[in-house]
Amino acid sequence: MHQYTTNMPTWRVPIPTSKGEFIATFSNEGLTSVSFPMGEELSPTAVSPRIAAWAKLTKAALDAIIAGKEPAQLPPFMFEGATEFQKAVWAQLTAIPLGRTRSYGEIAETLGKPGAARAVGAACGANPIPVLIPCHRVLASNRKLGGFSGGLDWKIDLLKAEGIRDFRSSAASDMLALA
């Protein structure tokens, strides 16, 4: 699912933000993954100038989206071992404008595969670059919150930062909501 089929060299770079330290992983081809803050800090290692530049872009983009603003520029994405369906879904995610949402079913329909809503959800969960590839902008039908691999509290935070407030939390996730 989230395992690479090759062992291309990669570099893990800490990305400090106001919400904690993300970790970005790069190959020579571009950004391969972003992970949410997990507590422990990663000591910075030396990287090539090109990767340092991508890391800088990644930080600026994360800072922007966390603040609910449009990122000026994104680093190049590199999807290793992803299926065509997943890449198609992720492409649709990047097409959702900031401050707007789509449903899993709508994405499926756009892909010409109505009925694949559930598979779309699985592909969202497999998104290796959350936040920058805005899987948080995908809600269930009836504007219910749906799920989020990084934790629903993150999804709620990101949505609210973008000014999106007309979503319904299920009874179970009500306590996650914050003013």
Partner DNA sequence: CCACGGTGGTAGA
Partner DNA sequence: TCTACCACCGTGG
Q: What is the contact surface with DNA in residues (CB under 7 A)? A: 1, 83-86, 103-106, 113, 115-127, 130, 135-136, 138, 140-142, 144, 146-150, 155, 170-171
Q: Which is nearer to DNA, 52 or 176 (CB)?
A: 176
Instruction: Sort 109 into a burial class: Cβ within 10 Å, 0-12 / 13-18 / 19+.
Output: middle
124 included as an active-site residue: no
The residues facing 130 across adjacent strands are: 133
Distances (CA, A) of 24 to 90, 105, 106: 18, 30, 30
Nearer to DNA (CB atom), residue 53 or residue 95: 95
**Residues forming beta bridges with residue 17, ordered by sequence position:** 20
CB of 123 to DNA, least distance (A): 6
- Helix residue ranges per DSSP H, the chain: 49-66, 84-94, 104-110, 117-125, 152-161
Residue 11 or 106 with smaller CB distance to DNA = 106
CB of 114 vs DNA, minimal distance in Å? 8
* Total Cβ atoms within 10 A of residue 70: 11
Measured from the CB atom, the residue of 51 and 132 that comes closer to DNA is: 132
Neighbours of 6 (CB within 10 A): 7
Burial of 171 by CB count in 10 Å (0-12 exposed, 13-18 middle, 19+ buried)?
exposed
Shortest Cβ 49–DNA spacing (Å): 32
**What minimum distance in Å lies between the beta carbon of 39 and DNA?**
20
Q: Which of 57, 135, 145, 152 is catalytic?
A: 135
Active site residues: 135
